[in-house]
Amino acid sequence: MTTAIFFKLLAVMITVALGWLAGRLRWLGEPQADPARVLSAAAFYIFVPALLFRTTARVDLAALPWRMLIAYFLPVVGLMLLVHATQRRRRRHHPALPVAAPGVRAISVGFGNNVQMGIPMATAVFGEAGLGLHLMLVSVHALVLLSVTTTLVELDLAHDKAQREGGGSLWRTLASTLRNTIIHPVVLPVLAGLAWNVLGLGVPALIDEVLQLLGSAVVPLCLVLIGLSLAYYGVQGQVRGGIAIAAAKLLLVPALVLVVAHWGFGLGGLPLAVMVMAAAAPVGSNALIFAQRYHAQQAEATAAIVFSTLAFMLSAPLWLSLLGALGA
């Protein structure tokens, strides 16, 4: 691991520690007031939508490496769907689990920290060419994975509501899911941004400046939120689940991407290396925002983020060595 990546990791952990300190010293209030949820709501309803709209409105759709993107998201989304289905069956035997728990665990496994950790990694290891490819992945990473998970969770919530209210028609459940999925602080700005992009309207300079300012708050806010959640929720009883998610994210996800991209799509060299290392990134902080949004598995998501970030110092060199042996 290079010095640049190590210091970036250290900066991430120090920011998380500051959030933990703020929580322990009750700078933002007592846990009963739930300031962590207030910050999460601010991120979910203000800062993340601004980031998503700006990204989709500005991305050059024609320049995206679609073959590379498909080879990356096919195994990642496939694994998330498998985790969701497995956890949904498990919940039948553990009805005390929140309805959104399967979706939160799915996004925790699939969503990587490809900004705070991924960008420094790509820059230090692969240079400008690798960073360009990595940013192509980053440009649609949140758009794809958050939209997929939102749809899964809203479908689960609609189905649960129909059951509790004595059943309901399939069409009513689907209509409720579609409405709640579209009118959502993650999906709606994505759709609006894409429409803006396709129409070629362009983002006015002042509006773009506002969106950039709001979007730039996502990273530090999320890191502080992780620390607050550690202070308020702790990881007691969540170690096993956190380690399982961390192991899946650091080992299983990159392995699947490697197999599908290399032997399924015939990719190699720099694109393959960038994809695998992006897949090998630790659990992203958006998993915690999602958990906070749906009141499910907050402590487990926090534990997975912390454990995977620390273990990344060991897993990243292993993946780089393997890629080197494959000539990527």
User: What are the residue boundaries of the structural domains of the chain, listed by start?
Assistant: 3-325
Residue 45, pLDDT above cutoff 90: no
Residue 177, pLDDT above cutoff 70: no
pTM over 0.85, yes/no: no
Six-digit token pair at 4?
Answer: 């640049």
Six-digit token pair at 151?
Answer: 């749809």
Of 84 and 325, which is predicted with more confidence?
84
Of 197 and 179, which is predicted with more confidence?
197
Judged by DSSP in three states, 112 sits in strand
In the predicted model, what is the mean pLDDT of residues 117-123? 80
Lowest-confidence pick of 31-35, 58-62, 112-116, 303-307: 31-35
- Give dist(CA 270, CA 324) in Å, integer: 11
Mean pLDDT of all residues belonging to the chain: 86
In the predicted model, what is the mean pLDDT of residues 106-133? 86
- Give dist(CA 92, CA 97) in Å, integer: 9
CATH topology assigned to domain 3-325: Na+/H+ antiporter like fold (1.20.1530)
Q: Residue 158: CB partners within 8 Å, gap ≥ 6?
A: 173, 174, 176, 177, 180
